[in-house]
Amino acid sequence: MALPNLSEADRKAALKKAAEARQKRAELRQKIKSGKTSFVEVMKASDDPIVARMKVSALLESLPGFGKAKAAKIMEELKISESRRVQGLGARQREMLMARLG
């Protein structure tokens, strides 16, 4: 599928919007890491576009006491693909994550 031809103004607007979304996800990860926001609160807000488009692995790695290895181990045990985003979690995967970490 070919990419649409965007005008310079449209391209700049899209880049700005993408940068803002990345910044908001980084802020959310920092809130999780510092303990200001819990895993349960994030999962309850999974309809929020910022949360929905976050990779599950990034979410797990943001939890206090979790790193890449621990997050990968949990995702492997729960059969969650490393490329899965929060919005793409199935009901059973979501339940298993909540039971494990909630």
88 falls within a domain: yes
70 falls within a domain: yes
**How many other CB atoms are there within 10 angstroms of residue 74's CB atom?**
19
pLDDT for 1 beyond 90: no
Domain count of the chain? 1
Full residue range of the structural domain in which residue 77 is found: 23-101
Q: Would you state the pLDDT for residue 5?
A: 84
35 falls within a domain: yes
Query: 69-91, pLDDT tens digit by residue?
Result: 999 999 999 999 999 999 999 99
> Tokens 């965007």 sit at which residue?
6
48 falls within a domain: yes
pTM: 0.84
> 62 and 29 in contact (C-beta within 8 Å)?
yes
Side-chain-side CA neighbours of 38 within 13 Å: the count stands at 6
Instruction: Identify which of 58, 71, 67, 68 has the alpha carbon closest to the alpha carbon of residue 101.
Output: 71
What CATH number does residue 90 fall under?
1.10.8.50
> 80 and 89 in contact (C-beta within 8 Å)?
yes
Q: What percent of the chain has pLDDT over 90?
A: 87
